[in-house]
Structure 1
Amino acid sequence: MGRVLLLAMLLLTAGPVLAGPAYLTLIIDDLGQSPARDSRTLALPGPVTLAIMPDTPHAADFARQAHKAGKTVMVHMPMDPATGPFAWRPDMPASGLLGRLQAALRAVPYAAGLNNHEGSRMTSQPEAMALLMNELQQHGMFFVDSRTSAATVAAAKAQSIGLASLSRDVFLDDTRTVEAIAGQLEKAIALAHKQGTVVIIGHPYPQTLEVLERELPRLKARGVEWIPVRQMIGERGNRATAAHGKGGIYH
C-alpha cells in the first residue's frame, strides 16, 4: 500500500504525462535575400525546411547550397497581395499563372515543394488553387498552406486530389522581439504535446534565429522530436487538424 501511495505522489509531482510522441516541423520563409542570414538559417541544428523566394538575388545559389547540405528546399511562391514578376494574381488567366509557376521552379532548383508567400487574396480563389495543386501533383511536389488568411481554400484543394500537403499551425515572428518569438515557440511546443504534431513557420530575422539557435537543441529533452517536412506529411496523412477542419477534412 505504501508503494502505491509513493508512486501516486511521484506521478502528481512529475507533471503531465505525455500521451504519445510530439513532432515538430520548422519552415523558414523569405530566404534568398541575404547570404549571411541564409547561411545562419542553414546552420540550424536539424532538418529545417528552407522556403526560398524566386525573385531574390541569391535564390538559385542558395537552393543549390541547401540541397547539397541535405536540406529540403521549397519555392516560397508570391501570391496576391504580394507583387513582382512571379506573383499569382486573381485577374490572370491560367496560362499566365502556369507560366509564372514554371519560371519560379526554374529560379529555385531542387525544390521539393511549395508554400505561399502572402496570398491572403489568392489562396481564397478555388479555381486557381485547384490549378496549382494539379500542377504540383504532376511535378511530384508537395504543398504547405501558410494559412495567411482564414479564407484559404488551398489546403482543401490539395486534399481533394490527394496531393501531399500540410497546413501551418504557428507563426513564430509576427512580433519581432526575442520575448514574443520565444513565447510563440512555447505555444508551438505545447500544441505539439496536445495534438501530436505542430508545423511552424518563421523568418530569418536575427531575433528569430537567436531564439531557434538557443531552443532547438533542447527540444528532445522536452519530449519533442524535430522531423523533416515529408515525414510530417506522413504523420498527418493529409488530414486537417482540429483547428483547420472537422473529422480531418479541411473547412
Structure 2
Amino acid sequence: MRFSLALALFCCLTGAAHAAPTSHDAAPHKAYLSLIIDDLGQNLPRDRRVLALPGPVTAAVMPDTPHAAEFAREAHKAGKIVILHMPMDPATGPFAWHPDLPVDELEKRLNAAFKAVPYTSGINNHMGSRMTSQPQAMAWLMADLQRRHKLFVDSRTSAQTVAAAQAQKIGLASVSRDVFLDDVRTEQAITTQLDTAIKLAHKQGSAVMIGHPYPQTLAVLERELPKLKARGIELIDIKQMIGLRGNKAMAGHGKDGVYR
C-alpha cells in the first residue's frame, strides 16, 4: 500500500516536471516570452552583442551574409538556438524564394541556404509578404521541414500569410510572431513595443517577439531583459514556446486555436 502510494506520488511529480516551462516560484498566472533576433550574420562585433543578452535568445541568421557560417557556429557554441532566416519575396538574392519559381528551384535554394547556415533547428521567413501567401509553396515547405525535422516560425510579415496554417495542418512544430519590437528605431518606441509584448503575454499566457540587431534595440534589451522576472515574465526559448502553445494559434492569428 505504502509502495503504491509512493509510486503514484512520484509519477505525479515526474509528469509535472515535463509540463509547461516553469520555475520554483511559478504561479498559474505566469507569463512567457520568447525572443528572436533576425538579420544576423552581417557584422560580427554587432551580432555578438546578441549572444551576450541574458536568457535564451533565438539567432535567425541570413544565408547571404559574409559571416553566416561563422556566427551560426558561435551562436551554437554559446548555447543559442539557431534558425535560418530564409529570404522570401519581395526579398532578393541567390537564396530568395519567389512565387514563379518551380519546386525544384525552391528546393535547390533551400538546400543551399541550410548549407550556408550550420546548426539550424528550423527557419523563419525574411520578408516574404508575397511568398508566404502561396498555399502550394508553403505546403511543400512544411512537408520538407517535417522531413528534415526542423521547426518553423511564421514571422507574419503579411496578414495574408498561410504559412503557419499549412504547418498546423501537418502537425509541424511551429509558432507565430506576435510583436515586432523595432519597426520604429528609437529606444522609446522599442520600449513601448516590449511593454506591449509583456501585456500580451500576461493576457494570453505567452508572446513571441522579433527584433533586429539595431543599436537601439540591443540597448533596450540589455537594460530591460534582466527586469522581466520582476514583471512576472519568464523568458523561454522558441522550442519551449512551441511546446507550451502546442502549435495552436493565438486569438490574434486564428479562432479556437486554428490558424485562419
TM-score bracket relative to the smaller structure? over 0.9
Q: Does 1:245 align with 2:254?
A: yes
1:91 pairs, out of 100, 108, 127, with: 100
Q: Which amino acid aligns with 1:81?
A: P
Displacement of 1:36: 1.3
Task: Name structure 2 gaps, 5 residues minimum.
Answer: 1-26
Q: Does 1:47 align with 2:56?
A: yes
1:109 pairs, out of 114, 118, 134, with: 118
* Counterpart for residue 14 of structure 1: none
Counterparts of 1:102-251 in structure 2, within 5 Å, are: 102-251=111-260
Q: Which amino acid aligns with 2:80?
A: K
Report Cα offsets for 1:156-191 as digits up to 9, x if no partner: 000000000000000000000000000000000000
Report Cα offsets for 1:42-97 as digits up to 9, x if no partner: 11011000000000000000001111111100000000000000000000000000
- Provide the TM-score with structure 2 as the length reference: 0.89
Q: Which amino acid aligns with 1:174?
A: D
Displacement of 1:19: 5.4
- Provide the TM-score with structure 1 as the length reference: 0.92
- Cα distance in 2 between the residues matched to 1:19 and 1:58: 43
User: Alpha carbon RMSD of aligned pairs, Å?
Assistant: 0.7
Q: Give the percent of matched residue pairs that are identical in Structure 1 and Structure 2.
A: 71
Report Cα offsets for 1:126-185 as digits up to 9, x if no partner: 000011101111110000000000000000000000000000000000000000000000
Q: How many residues align?
A: 234
- Cα distance in 2 between the residues matched to 1:37 and 1:209: 9
* Secondary structure of 1:115's aligned partner: strand
* Secondary structure of 2:36's aligned partner: strand
- Cα distance in 2 between the residues matched to 1:150 and 1:192: 21
Q: Does 1:81 align with 2:107?
A: no
* Secondary structure of 2:209's aligned partner: strand
Q: Which amino acid aligns with 1:198?
A: A
Task: Name structure 1 gaps, 5 residues minimum.
Answer: 1-17
- Cα distance in 2 between the residues matched to 1:129 and 1:146: 13
* Counterpart for residue 59 of structure 1: 68
* Secondary structure of 1:91's aligned partner: coil
Displacement of 1:22: 0.1
Q: Which amino acid aligns with 2:173?
A: A
